[in-house]
Amino acid sequence: MSLSKLLFATIFLLSFQQTSAQRNYDSYNFLGIQAGILLFDIHTNDLVTEQREGFSAGFTTRGAFRNNFDLIYGISFLNAAVGIEGNDLLNTDTQYIGYTIHGVTFKLIGSYNIIVNHLSLELGPIFGLNGKMKLNNNRFENYVLTGYNTLTASEIQDISKFNALIAAGITGGFKHFRLSAQYHYGLTNILSALNKRNLENNSFKGNSSTVILSGVIYF
């Protein structure tokens, strides 16, 4: 899915949500700016990984949908980081090698209001587009990854560019400002693209795992 298609889908859903909200007696439809920190990792048996901290920011909307349910959607831009263990050719230096992933996510979340405008539980799908898992320092590009004989740090950068995730979380606060804690689990294999590269391992399997702690200002 291209970024242009993602933006088109967002515009379409914005129109749909505004129409739905207008049919509710207590209708509301807020546009918000969201930013926060994310803790990213990859759950896999094929690499030794370390969770690291990144950040995300973007635009979101919250609108009354039906009864006690809201509909939330938006676009976020993220900078995720992860460490993967490797060692130099002499096996004298073993450490977690840093990688960075830049991407954009599109969310469509259902929200159940425990207390309207103050506390809600959230669940729904997220779709993401991302670039490479880029090595932060080329000094480590020839480090051999733990568990392998020849697989180097530079060879695993071309991960899958499209991923589907499921999100669950809780949001609390006030009408125009809320704090949110969400967990995103990757339903697709984020490492699947590596299996086409004739590497030492041709059956990589991994699922992204992300905790996002953020604040939202609604207008």
CA distance 53 to 43: 16
pLDDT (0 to 100) of residue 72: 96
Name 67's Cβ contacts closer than 8 Å, sequence gap at least 6.
none
Q: Is the pLDDT of residue 24 over 80?
A: no
Answer whether 93's CB lies under 8 Å from 87's CB: yes
Pick from 16, 123, 27, 107: which is nearest to 67 by CA? 27
CATH number for the domain harbouring residue 45: 2.40.160.20
pLDDT (0 to 100) of residue 28: 85
Q: Is the pLDDT of residue 3 over 90?
A: no
Q: Is the pLDDT of residue 118 over 90?
A: yes
Answer whether 143's CB lies under 8 Å from 152's CB: yes
pLDDT above 90: percentage of residues in the chain: 84
Beta bridge partners of residue 166, listed in sequence order: 125, 185
CA-CA-CA-CA torsion sign (87, 201, 40, 219): positive
Mean per-residue pLDDT for 194-212? Answer: 97
pLDDT (0 to 100) of residue 8: 53
pLDDT (0 to 100) of residue 92: 87
Interval 49-85: pLDDT, tens: 999 999 999 999 999 998 899 999 999 999 999 999 9
Interval 122-161: pLDDT, tens: 999 999 999 999 999 999 999 999 999 999 999 999 999 9
Q: How many domains does the chain have?
A: 1
Could you tell me the pTM of the whole model? 0.87
Residue-range definition of the domain harbouring residue 45: 3-218
Burial class (CB in 10 A: 0-12, 13-18, 19+), 100: middle
Q: What is the DSSP string of the chain?
A: --HHHHHHHHHHHHHHHHHHHHTSTT--EEEEEEEEEEEEEEEESSS-EEEEEEEEEEEEEEEEEETTEEEEEEEEEEEEEEEEEEE-TTS--EEEEEEEEEEEEEEEEEEEEEETTTEEEEEEEEEEEEEEEEES-GGGTTPEETT-SS-BGGGG----SEEEEEEEEEEEE-SSEEEEEEEEEE-S-TTGGGGGS--S-S---EEEEEEEEEEEEE-
The token duo for 35 is: 């930013």
